[in-house]
Amino acid sequence: MGLTTWGWDAVVPALEIWTEELDRHGAPPGSALIARHELMDSPDKLRAMLERAGFHTSRADCVPWSHRPSLDEFVAQHAALGVAGRRLGGLEPDARTDFLRQVRTRLENLPPEHFVDRSEVIAATATAG
């Protein structure tokens, strides 16, 4: 079996601005999905979990990963996905339009590097038996 999971979350300045604007516009708080992610957010924890499930782990390591969206890709992603998208969806249509206009204005001033997500990814392979 092969699998990947998230480790720690990187700080993404553009996402911090997005969240500040959601708060400023009165977006309802977003609740994260129930994930229990803390059980497997490091290579050691992931190996231990797989071994408890009866797998023999051959490898679990952090792997290089990054996502470099453009401004338009960033806005489209965060308007539609995850906690940020659910919060935005909780705004009234006029407030949502105002939010998107204002957050875009703030984001347009950021250098491309402030959109890059370098959150940790953990990859593992294991065999049954």
Which uninterrupted H or E stretch holds 8? none
Percent of the chain residues past pLDDT 90, beyond the cut: 81
User: Is residue 11 very low, low, confident or very high in pLDDT (cuts 50, 70, 90)?
Assistant: very high
* pLDDT, tens digit (0-9, with 9 covering 90-100), for 43-102: 999 999 999 999 987 799 999 999 999 999 999 999 999 899 999 999 999 999 999 999
* Distance from C-alpha of 69 to C-alpha of 124, rounded to nearest angstrom: 26
| 2-128 CATH fold | Rossmann fold (3.40.50)
In this model, does residue 37 exceed pLDDT 70? yes
Closest CA to 96 of 16, 13, 26, 14: 26
* Distance from C-alpha of 61 to C-alpha of 90, rounded to nearest angstrom: 38
Segment 35-50 shows an average pLDDT of 89
Is 13 in contact with 126 (CB distance < 8 Å)? no
Average pLDDT, the chain: 93
> Among 29-38, 73-82, 103-112, which is the least confidently predicted range?
29-38
User: Is residue 32 very low, low, confident or very high in pLDDT (cuts 50, 70, 90)?
Assistant: low
> Among 7-11, 96-100, 124-128, which is the least confidently predicted range?
7-11
Question: What's the CA dihedral at 12, 7, 124, 113 to 10 degrees?
Answer: 10
What is the pTM (predicted TM-score) of this model? Answer: 0.82
